[in-house]
Structure 1
């Protein structure tokens, strides 16, 4: 599902670590922003480190968006995100 042409997605910038140390804090913020908007764009350019807990959080957000018929886009992957997504074959 794509946002309508007049619908601008809300933006969320994640900076620093997207690791087990911050997942709970980021989960609350990410899911709250997703609940507030029909479309959310998550900018990952500032992510300096990501681990499997961070990937699980992003996958959870995608499942939640799909279940509630919302649009979620992960954009501007940092080198750390691109490397792990490549290793895991995540697009």
Structure 2
């Protein structure tokens, strides 16, 4: 009787494993489908983002004048850095 139960339990386990595997496979495919849908939403978000990027470019254009002023400030700073390096050489 024990041998029969073992023989029965082994195929049952295998069947149960295959069934569980099938369920996971289905679950995975379902998740993948959801993911693809999410990807579509993401692509739409990308489009929205690109629009935002365009706005950002426009903002950058407006900021270009400020950037020029900043570059001038950096030049002054670089001169200060040269003086500082001279002090280090002196030491």
Please tell me the TM-score bracket, short chain as reference. under 0.3
Greater relative CO, 1 or 2 (CA 8 Å, sep 6+): 1
Q: Between Structure 1 and Structure 2, whose CA radius of gyration is higher? A: 2
Q: TM-score, normalised by structure 2?
A: 0.22
Of Structure 1 and Structure 2, which has the larger fraction of its residues in helix? 2
